[in-house]
Amino acid sequence: MAAVTLLEARGLTRHFGGLKAVNGVDFALDEGEIHALIGPNGAGKTTFVSLLSGRIPAQSGTIRLRGRDITRLPAHARVRAGIAYTFQITQIYAALTVFDNVALAVQGRGGHPLAAQAMAALDRVGLADRAGQIAGTLSYGHQRVLEIAMGLALAPLLLILDEPTQGLAEGEIATFKDIVRSVVPQTTVLLIEHNMDVVMGLADRITVLNFGEVLATGTPAEIRANPAVQAAYLGG
């Protein structure tokens, strides 16, 4: 089956002063895949996904979502177009209830009925019984999961996860992997991840960034066997 392209970036560039954080990156995501983005610290991974989600404007290049040019679309409009982003550093509404956190996400895409859809999103990640709790009082792991629930509640075409397993315990990582597997193929997942077990276990394809440029793209087996990747990142 020929893969259908969901999102395509061409020549995407963002420099900060002399630092070429993202430098002429060509990139394509297939519908329904789990795609991991790896690379050493400072390789430009977070900047790259920030360009895709619109949090940072691109200096040059184009981004197309299902063929539609979204390069100039502001971040909130890209969310409505179907690109959900979960932050590297947990960003929830700590003072609001767990339910309100997710309800806001459902509202963000105009979902009806609000309460049922919010509860469904919480149910998917196993937080339904904590709906009334103040989000800031959740454990760190639950806060990370809540943030993923907010992403799911947006019912996005593309879910971008920026280092989602950072700081999670082993058991929580297993739960996280199950959640991610359950959202494809309706939702395509782009994942920045340092934990190689998670990457190799989840990803259909992997893109390696280094110094703001694409070093390699391929299946986990191809990436493992790639000598350039081994030299730059995997450390042989």
- H or E segment to which residue 20 belongs: strand 19-30
Interface stretch with other proteins, choices 27-35, 39-47, 68-76, 196-204 (CB under 8 A): 68-76
Please report, as residue ranges, which positions from 41 to 60 form the binding site for other proteins (by CB under 8 A): 53, 55
In the complex, minimum distance from the CB of residue 39 to other proteins, in angstroms, rounded to a whole number: 23
CB count within 10 Å of CB 9 equals 20
In the complex, minimum distance from the CB of residue 115 to other proteins, in angstroms, rounded to a whole number: 11
Closest CA to 161 of 186, 192, 182, 131: 192
Return the number of the residue (53 or 210) whose C-beta is nearest other proteins. Answer: 53
Interface stretch with other proteins, choices 31-39, 93-101, 176-184, 210-218 (CB under 8 A): 93-101
Please report, as residue ranges, which positions from 139 to 168 form the binding site for other proteins (by CB under 8 A): 150, 154
CB count within 10 Å of CB 62 equals 14
Whole-angstrom distance, CA of residue 228 vs CA of residue 43: 15
In the complex, minimum distance from the CB of residue 70 to other proteins, in angstroms, rounded to a whole number: 14
Whole-angstrom distance, CA of residue 186 vs CA of residue 203: 16
Q: Within a 13 Å sphere around the CA of 198, how many CA atoms are in the beta-carbon half?
A: 28
State yes or no: residue 24 binds other proteins (CB under 8 A). Answer: no
Phi-psi region of 182 (alpha: psi -120 to 50; beta: other; left: phi over 0): alpha
In the complex, minimum distance from the CB of residue 206 to other proteins, in angstroms, rounded to a whole number: 25
State yes or no: residue 89 binds other proteins (CB under 8 A). Answer: no
Return the number of the residue (92 or 145) whose C-beta is nearest other proteins. Answer: 92
Whole-angstrom distance, CA of residue 129 vs CA of residue 18: 50
Return the number of the residue (12 or 118) whose C-beta is nearest other proteins. Answer: 118
Whole-angstrom distance, CA of residue 43 vs CA of residue 28: 18
State yes or no: residue 199 binds other proteins (CB under 8 A). Answer: no
Please report, as residue ranges, which positions from 96 to 125 form the binding site for other proteins (by CB under 8 A): 96, 100, 103-105, 107-109, 114
**Backbone phi, psi, residue 69, to 5°:** -75, 115
**Contact 49/160 with Cβ under 8 angstroms?**
yes
Return the number of the residue (76 or 181) whose C-beta is nearest other proteins. Answer: 76
What is the binding site for other proteins (CB under 8 A)?
A: 53, 55, 74-77, 79-80, 84-85, 87, 91-96, 100, 103-105, 107-109, 114, 150, 154
